[in-house]
Amino acid sequence: MFFLDSNTCIYFLNGSSESIKNRILTTPPIDIAIPSIVKVELLLGAYKSKNPTATKEKRRDHRTA
């Protein structure tokens, strides 16, 4: 089981780490968890970003992947 932290989620969403992307995409979804506090941190970061709508959409797109 992998519990992802904020930085790992951000690296994945931004595509800035090929190794993180590969690890997440090859791990069964049942074995990945994102703690509630991390979800809140990501939402807060999206709202404070330069383009909140695009940032939230990026997060939403990955949620179903």
Strand segments (E) across the chain: 2-3, 32-33
pLDDT higher than threshold 80 for residue 47: yes
pLDDT of residue 17: 95
Torsion angle, alpha carbons of 43, 7, 62, 42, to 10: 0
Q: Which fold has domain 2-63?
A: Rossmann fold (3.40.50)
Q: Other C-beta atoms within 10 Å of 13: how many?
A: 16
pLDDT digits (tens, 9 = 90+) for 23-42: 999 999 999 999 999 999 99
User: Do the beta carbons of residue 5 and residue 38 sit within 8 Å?
Assistant: yes
Most confident among 2-6, 13-17, 39-43, 59-63 (mean pLDDT): 2-6
List phi, psi (to 5°) of 53: -65, -50
- Residue reference for tokens 């930085």: 7
| Domain residue ranges of the chain, discontinuous segments joined by + | 2-63
